Structure 1
Amino acid sequence: MQNTLVDKTFRDSNGNIVLAQMPNLPLIVWIVTSLLSLIFTTGKINTVLEVVANGSLFTWAWLELFQGVNYFRRALGLAVLIGLIASKIISYNGLTN
């Protein structure tokens, strides 16, 4: 197998094309806590759910960025990490203005 940029971008170490994988624990926690925060929309429980959701999504993005199986998964982790940080900056600026 050739080691081209396309191969490095989309193939894992076994030569399989990997775009999506089964969710790992941080992603499952993010999904569950995000759904629960839609049910519990106010109060301390909502605050805890949002903190756990953001923390688990950050963890997932960090793991993908540094341990992703290919360049695509690492770029996906970087994009989610940047998006998460940007959304927090924007929401914080909206609260302070």
Structure 2
Amino acid sequence: MGALRQALDWTFRSRTDGRITVGQWPNLPLWLFIGLTAVGFALDPAGTPGRLVRVGAALSLAWWALDEVVRGVNPWRRFLGAAVLVGGVVTWGMRGFTF
């Protein structure tokens, strides 16, 4: 097996079932994020309900990302969770810590 193939195998092979795993069916925090984001499109972004929905969506995405960092089935999933966490912190910081 070549070095590239070994690296790809190590990166994407699930540690739980041995299968290649790039993506998975959404779990509860990701479904919450998707649902709250969809609801947020229908609300006034300047109003309190819109702000609460945005906070809920951000917390749901952070929950998902942290869960991937801690319990991801392979290094790719853990990296993906870490990238989402870093992206969220950077975005939040660029907005001046507001929602």
2:13 equivalent in structure 1: 11
- Quote the offset at 1:35 in angstroms: 1.0
Unaligned runs of 5+ in 1: none
- Quote the offset at 1:31 in angstroms: 0.5
1:62 equivalent in structure 2: 66
The percentage of aligned residue pairs carrying the same residue is 35
Decide which of 72, 76, 81 is 2:76's aligned counterpart: 72
What are the residue-to-residue correspondences of 1:44-55 with 2, within 5 Å? 44-55=48-59
Is residue 21 of structure 1 aligned with residue 24 of structure 2? yes
1:34 equivalent in structure 2: 37
Offset from partner CA, 1:8-56 (integer Å, 9 cap, x none): 2101122200001000000000001011111102311101101100000
Rounded Cα–Cα distance in structure 2 between residues aligned with 1:30 and 1:41: 18
- The RMSD of aligned alpha carbons is 1.4
TM-score in terms of structure 1 length: 0.87
May I ask how many residue pairs the two structures share in their alignment?
Answer: 91
- Quote the offset at 1:7 in angstroms: 2.2
Tell me which protein shows more helix as a share of its residues. 1
2:3 equivalent in structure 1: none
User: Which 4+ stretches in 1 moved above 6 angstroms?
Assistant: none
Unaligned runs of 5+ in 2: 1-5
